[in-house]
Amino acid sequence: MSLRDGLQPFASVRQAYRDLVERGAVTRDAAQEKIADRFDQLIEELATKRLAAKSSALGWLFARRREPKAPVKGIYIHGAVGRGKTMLMDLFYDLAPVNRKRRVHFNDFMAEVHDRIGRHRAAVKAGEAKGDDPIPPVARELANEAWVLCFDEFAVTDIADAMILSRLFSALFDQGVVLVATSNVAPLDLYRDGLNRPLFEPFIAILERHADVMSLDSDTDYRLEKLNRLPVYLTPLDADARGAFEAAWANYADGAGEATETIKVKGRTIRVERSVRDAARFTFEELCARPLGARDYLAIAARFRTVFVEGIPVFDDRGRNEAKRFILLIDTLYDKRLRLVASAAAQPQGLYRGRTGTTESFEFDRTASRLIEMQSRDWPGEEPAESASAEGHA
């Protein structure tokens, strides 16, 4: 059952949140309650703006001048993974008294923006549109479709995104768009160490002017707490394991829709067929039968905090390349302290049945040990003092 089931009777985010607490779906958290109250304030402001817009449409009947009203300020929530940011935003989204509203993963939104820019330029070239600058017409299109935009996982890693954000969101805010966003980082840490970051920095000031920045500093990772109640290493590869794997994925998604993503690595792209929030789901073939390397696994680890891997086989001498990639994958996930949910043909100690005395057999002892450690309820703990870097393996 989704946390969002049964929310319609409630008049406020605080009421919906309290109901979830009473049902035992979430644990009461003072930091979350504070965010819920701010969302209720935003709902009141949106309702007032909607009524004002309706009144202004009849203003010609009364010929009265009205003072311009201050724009509605959105909310930007940041904090560590699993603290309830997305859950709270979803409660708000369901209750927001707005017809033209949209909830979307930020990466998907920016991919759409680039597509719209491309279409506008093509239309200009064909003589079907005017204007060399595509940002204003694209912003008008987006604002006409939704004046409340809710972004999940707000993050900036692509220079193409970074270079247009200031102008794009300035135009959106000029159109009256209200932004709500969740992120793992504060605005000042967006695109940190990115190429040409000074060109991006004006966007931070624009964002802070148009959204209240709120930190959700709960001590508990609630999604991992729920996942800890389920087995995370499932073997053998039978119907029971498949069912448990699906249950773990559904539990983590908690009703959120899946998305397909692409991750850019040195001019190449890694396609992630199934992702939800900060989790990605792969088959073993997608990760280890393809020619992926350390940079690819590091890029995946930079984007996601939980990785689901389905169908890990038993390795023999015929699968040495796949075994090498699997060793590298586990090293990367371990070093970056990611949560792993896996289905496999055997327990970790029985996964490698190739020749003893080979490099793979020695390295697989470490891999098996790490797979066992990563099943612990205490995982991920503090980063180890010494860990093998994924960059150090061929």
Residue ending a domain, choose from 180, 215, 250: 215
Predicted confidence at residue 385, as pLDDT, reads 37
Q: Which residue has the higher pLDDT, 49 or 95?
A: 95
Q: Return the H-helix or E-strand segment holding 182.
A: strand 178-183
Predicted confidence at residue 60, as pLDDT, reads 45
Number of domains in the chain: 2
Task: Write the pLDDT tens digit of every residue in 268-310.
Answer: 889 999 999 889 999 999 999 999 988 899 999 999 999 999 9
Q: Nearest to residue 345, comparing CAs of 191, 222, 237?
A: 237
> How far apart are alpha carbons 165 and 204 in whole angstroms?
9
pLDDT higher than 60, residue 123:
yes
Q: Which domain range does residue 151 map to? A: 13-215
Q: Which residue has the higher pLDDT, 223 or 168?
A: 168
CATH for 254: 3.40.50
Measure Cα distances from 72 to 173, 178, 291, 320 in Å. 10, 7, 49, 59
**pLDDT, mean over the chain:** 84
Please check whether residues 200 and 230 belong to one and the same domain: no
Lowest mean pLDDT among 1-15, 101-115, 240-254: 1-15
Q: Are 322 and 288 in contact, with CB atoms under 8 Å apart?
A: yes
Mean pLDDT to the nearest integer, 348-367: 79
Residue ending a domain, choose from 187, 215, 243: 215
- Domain assignment of residue 278, yes or no: yes
CATH for 191: 3.40.50.300
Please check whether residues 303 and 329 belong to one and the same domain: yes
pLDDT higher than 50, residue 234:
yes
- 315 secondary structure, DSSP code: B
pLDDT higher than 90, residue 168:
yes
3-state secondary structure of 218: coil
- Domain assignment of residue 2, yes or no: no
Q: Nearest to residue 270, comparing CAs of 254, 293, 250, 245?
A: 293
Please check whether residues 25 and 171 belong to one and the same domain: yes
Predicted confidence at residue 69, as pLDDT, reads 60
pLDDT higher than 70, residue 65:
no
pLDDT higher than 90, residue 82:
no
Task: Write the pLDDT tens digit of every residue in 192-212.
Answer: 878 888 999 999 999 999 999
Predicted confidence at residue 381, as pLDDT, reads 53
Predicted confidence at residue 383, as pLDDT, reads 47
- The structure tokens listed for 74 are 């959105």
Measure Cα distances from 226 to 61, 95, 182, 248 in Å. 57, 26, 21, 9
Q: Nearest to residue 370, comparing CAs of 341, 348, 345?
A: 348
pLDDT higher than 50, residue 89:
yes
Predicted confidence at residue 39, as pLDDT, reads 97
Predicted confidence at residue 86, as pLDDT, reads 86
- Domain assignment of residue 8, yes or no: no
Q: Torsions phi, psi of 157, nearest 5?
A: -125, -15
Mean pLDDT to the nearest integer, 84-100: 92
Predicted confidence at residue 392, as pLDDT, reads 34
Please check whether residues 257 and 204 belong to one and the same domain: no
Mean pLDDT to the nearest integer, 253-277: 87
User: For the chain, what percent of residues have pLDDT higher than 90?
Assistant: 52
Count other Cβ atoms within 10 Å, centred on residue 260: 10
Q: Which residue has the higher pLDDT, 329 or 86?
A: 329
Strands 268-276 and 259-265: antiparallel
pLDDT higher than 90, residue 54:
no
Please check whether residues 256 and 119 belong to one and the same domain: no
Residue ending a domain, choose from 186, 215, 244: 215
pLDDT higher than 80, residue 260:
yes
Q: Torsions phi, psi of 264, nearest 5?
A: -90, 130
Mean pLDDT to the nearest integer, 146-161: 89
Predicted confidence at residue 307, as pLDDT, reads 96
Predicted confidence at residue 2, as pLDDT, reads 46
Q: Are 234 and 245 in contact, with CB atoms under 8 Å apart?
A: yes
Q: Which residue has the higher pLDDT, 362 or 268?
A: 268
Q: What is the pTM of this model?
A: 0.60
Predicted confidence at residue 160, as pLDDT, reads 86
